[in-house]
Amino acid sequence: MNRRDFSLAVVAGLMGLSQTRAHAAERAPAFSFPSIDGGTLDTADWRGRPVLVVNTASLCGFSGQLVDLQALHKTYGARGLVVLAVPSDSFKQELAGAKQVKEFCALQFGITLPMTDILPVTGAQAHPFYRWVRETRGFTPGWNFNKVLLDGEGQVVRTWGALTNPLSDAIVEAFTPLLPRS
């Protein structure tokens, strides 16, 4: 262990953190997602801003939450919040292709927030972001509309299941202190 790692371990121990958590905090990875519009969405581009990542599915009973995700985007986006929808067929409730998903979400819910292409969020084929969240936080989406909040450094702050509405006090109170200061 080098001197820097030793110092981090001592500070982490004094703060009640594990050495692993101290190392994770200093090296939050960035993730690239294929955009539903083509190109890529890169979490590194959003450093300094909180990011709420939500695995979505057009045909899910929770799809009404897309209206609330769009409301978060509209209300807090200008203040720095990024809301990222990750359409997924991991629970067999997504449309057949990205074009259909984009059209459905725009027409039914007025979605203008960033969306990825359709990606797996569970199992061995899960997108690297979801594998990282599983490995570092022990969190795997148990259904559609699970939420992962990242801070401005890309670290996981909190996770919520499908039953927690995006406009809930729990979520708003978790990201509000993370918004960039104007």
pLDDT reported for residue 8: 37
Q: Does the CA dihedral 60-39-112-55 come out positive or negative?
A: positive
Q: Catalytic one among 8, 36, 52, 60?
A: 60
| Number of independent structural domains in the chain | 2
Between strands 40-42 and 156-160, the pairing is unpaired
Q: What local confidence, expressed as pLDDT, does residue 22 receive?
A: 39
The confidence score (pLDDT) of residue 66 equals 97
Please check whether residue 94 is in contact with residue 57, taking contact to mean a CB–CB distance below 8 angstroms: yes
Residue 21 lies in domain:
1-29
Q: In the prediction, which pLDDT does 27 show?
A: 54
1 and 43 co-located in one domain: no
User: Containing H/E element for 135?
Assistant: helix 128-137
% residues pLDDT > 90 (the chain) = 84
* DSSP per-residue codes, 116-127: BPS---SSTTS-
Q: Is 105 a catalytic residue?
A: no
Q: What is the pLDDT of residue 28?
A: 81
User: Do residues 136 and 53 share a domain?
Assistant: yes
User: To the nearest whole percent, how much of the chain has pLDDT over 70?
Assistant: 85
In this structure, the number of other CB atoms found within 10 A of the CB of residue 14 comes to: 8
* Cα angle 134, 114, 91; round to 5: 45
One domain, residues 48 and 115: yes
**Residue 89 and residue 170 in one domain:** yes
74 and 59 share a domain? yes
State whether 48 and 121 are in the same domain. yes
Give pLDDT < 50 ranges for the chain. Answer: 1-26
Backbone angles phi, psi at 133, to 5 degrees: -60, -40
Q: Which tokens sit at 32? A: 């690239």
Instruction: Give yes or no: residues 150 and 76 share one domain.
Output: yes
